[in-house]
Amino acid sequence: MARKLSNGYVYKNQRLGKWRLAISWQDDDGRQHKMTRSTQVPCYEDKVGRNGKVRRDNRGRGAAEQLLREWRDEEVRKDEELSGTVSCETPVYRYVLDYIDLKESTGNILASTADGYRWYAKHLLGTELGKTPVGQVTARQIQEFERDMVQDGYGGNTVSHTHVLLKTAFIRARKLGDIPSNPFDLVDAPKRPTKPINSLDAASVRQLNQTLGSVADPFSTAVLLALMTGMRQGEICALRWQDIDRVSRKIRVSHALTRANGTFALSTPKTRSSARTIPYGDELARVLEVRARAMHDERESMGLDWDEGLFVVGNAVTGAWKSPMALGQEWRAFVRVAKLVGSQGEAPRFHDLRHTFATMAIGSGVDVKTVSAILGHSNAAMTLNVYADALADSKKVSMDLMGRIMSAGLS
């Protein structure tokens, strides 16, 4: 069943100085929902006259309302298309694939994310649940399917991610009226095992830096970017010089290299919070200057002009990016040479450099909200969940310090 969308309305986002759009609807259970969308249409503050009356400044309102109408029409078309492609008689496996295809085609998820979803959906192949029409699925079938996954040797994370994907598809089915109720509401989500982070301590970081030696090469620059900013592997490989303001010392994370259909492609970050600006200090400024000079010299020797569109850790001559897979292979070889071991007694992955940055930042007293924003987490709660141990250590250090301050003068 298609949503009964309101006509919507526009309002001013004074903080950003742009008009914003909003559409609401009510589901079959009477619950109200609202979705909003930003625009690039400027808005202006209303003025208060001498008589105290507010004079509305509606410049840009007409353009914003036109965007609202187009957006509402787009949502109506999406609902109509979805209602026409699936039904309650569709087998679960087919239904979930259609759901993933729709999410990808409408730009709600990246191609790499869609590939991951399809991998989880493949666990339905050949199963009783996968063959069952969506409208006939029971909670018991879901429980048996997930129990069989565990018995077949699938890890807790795989079972949990598969559960979330299927539940999300069934929530959509319920909203559209393809099913009278959602059987997943009666099934407890599988517990996802939490693995302690394998970060490096101060001695290991020192050992890493000593082994790196020169910082002019792409690999060393990539490692130090991860260590000093907490950036993700794909974000570092996609970083271009035009994304770095070397005067104000800020890095703008606006792209990432993601893998889809077996190849890497340049894409925008998966979430709004992943697109962020990261300030940096003297040490990283020195690293970036050395790397820029090396690339300048290499291009000059080939008779090539400088190009701000070059990838920071890519090829200075061809302009090609460094593949995250190649960076990972170089890192594993480096770890063996440097004999690095993480806090869990295991060889650290490249991603563990991100964990190292976060752990040391929190342990040094940087507030969690700031660390969360730098990492590009959706909220501080996510950071708290991942780095709870580091926060506990930070609290202990802080309380020891407060104890010394408050006990001054005691005999």
What tens digit of pLDDT does each residue of 9-20 get?
A: 999 988 889 999
The domain that contains 127 carries what CATH number?
Answer: 1.10.150.130
Same structural domain, 50 and 106: no
- CB under 8 Å to 49, separation ≥6 — which residues? 55
- Is 355 in the same domain as 212? yes
CA dihedral 331, 335, 337, 339 (to 10 degrees): 170
What's the pLDDT score for residue 178?
Answer: 85
Q: List pLDDT tens digits, range 243-272.
A: 999 999 999 999 999 887 678 888 887 777
Residue 311 DSSP one-character state: B
Mean pLDDT, the chain, as a whole number? 87
Mean pLDDT across 117-132: 94
Euclidean distance between CA atoms 41 and 34, whole angstroms:
21
**Do 316 and 172 sit in the same domain of this protein?**
no
| CB proximity list for 30: less than 8 A, separation 6 or greater | none
Are both 290 and 396 inside the same structural domain? yes
Residue 206 falls inside a structural domain: yes
> What would the two tokens of residue 326 be?
């190649």
* Domain count across the chain: 3
Where a domain ends, among 121, 153, 186?
186
Amino acid letter, 394: S
Question: With contact defined as beta carbons under 8 Å apart, do 112 and 262 qualify?
Answer: no
pLDDT value for 397: 58
Asked whether residue 195 is assigned to any structural domain, the reply reads no
Residues 218 and 358 reside in one and the same domain: yes
Position 244 in a domain: yes
User: Band of the pLDDT at 402, cuts 50, 70, 90?
Assistant: low
Same domain, 162 and 227: no
Task: Give the model's pLDDT for residue 392.
Answer: 58
- 296 and 234 fall within a common domain: yes
Q: Are residues 382 and 269 in the same domain?
A: yes
Amino acid symbol at 355 = H
What is the β-pairing status of strands 256-260 and 54-55? Answer: unpaired
Amino acid at 233: Q
**How far apart (Å, rounded) are the C-alpha atoms in residues 300 and 192?**
53
Of 211 and 2, more confident: 211
Does some domain include residue 110? Answer: yes
Residue 255, domain CATH: 1.10.443.10
- Full-prediction pTM beyond 0.85? no
From its phi and psi, is residue 306 left (phi > 0), alpha (psi between -120 and 50) or beta? Answer: beta
Distance CA 354, CA 360 (A): 10
Instruction: Indicate whether 73 belongs to any domain.
Output: no
Specify if 411 maps to a domain.
no
Tell me 222's DSSP state. H
Q: Pull the structure tokens for residue 147.
A: 């129990």
In a domain, 258, yes or no: yes
Closest CA to 117 of 133, 100, 102, 98: 100
Q: Between these two residues, 397 and 129, which has the higher pLDDT value?
A: 129
Q: Is 247 left (phi over 0), alpha (psi -120 to 50) or beta?
A: alpha
Residues contacting residue 92 through CB under 8 Å, at least 6 positions apart: 124, 129, 130, 131, 132, 133, 134, 137, 166
Residues near 254 by Cβ (< 8 Å), separated by ≥ 6? 243, 268, 269, 275
CA distance 284 to 141: 54
Q: Which has more confidence, 79 or 288?
A: 288
pLDDT given for residue 86 in this prediction: 44
- Predicted confidence (pLDDT) per residue in 313-328, tens digit: 999 999 999 999 999 9
Among residues 119, 152, 186, the one where a domain terminates is: 186
- HSE-CB at 288 with a 13 A cutoff on CA atoms is 25
Please indicate, yes or no, whether residues 338 and 377 belong to a single structural domain of this protein. yes
DSSP string computed for 97-143: HHHHHHHHHTTSS-HHHHHHHHHHHGGGTTSHHHHSBGGG--HHHHH
Quick one: 309 and 387 in the same domain?
yes
Domain range for 332 is: 202-400
Single out the residue of 91, 44, 45 nearest to residue 63, CA to CA: 44
Same domain? 269 vs 321: yes
Give the span between the Cα atoms of 326 and 218, in whole angstroms. Answer: 11
Structure tokens at 378: 């959706």
More confident residue, 402 or 72: 72
Question: Within 10 Å of residue 122's Cβ, how many Cβ atoms?
Answer: 14
Residue 159 has pLDDT above 90, yes or no: yes
Q: Same domain, yes or no, for 110 and 171?
A: yes
Which pLDDT score, from 0 to 100, does residue 39 have?
92
pLDDT category of residue 85 using cuts at 50, 70 and 90: very low
**Which candidate, 215, 236, 214, 109, places its Cα nearest to that of 169?**
109
| Contacts for 224-229: CB closer than 8 Å, 24+ residues apart | 224/284, 224/287, 225/284, 225/287, 225/312, 225/313, 226/350, 226/353, 226/354, 226/357, 227/353, 227/356, 227/357, 228/280, 228/281, 228/283, 228/284, 228/287, 228/357, 229/278, 229/280, 229/284, 229/357, 229/374
* DSSP SS3 for 23: strand
Question: Looking at 152, 186, 220, which one is the last position of a domain?
Answer: 186
Please check whether residue 86 lies inside any domain of the structure: no
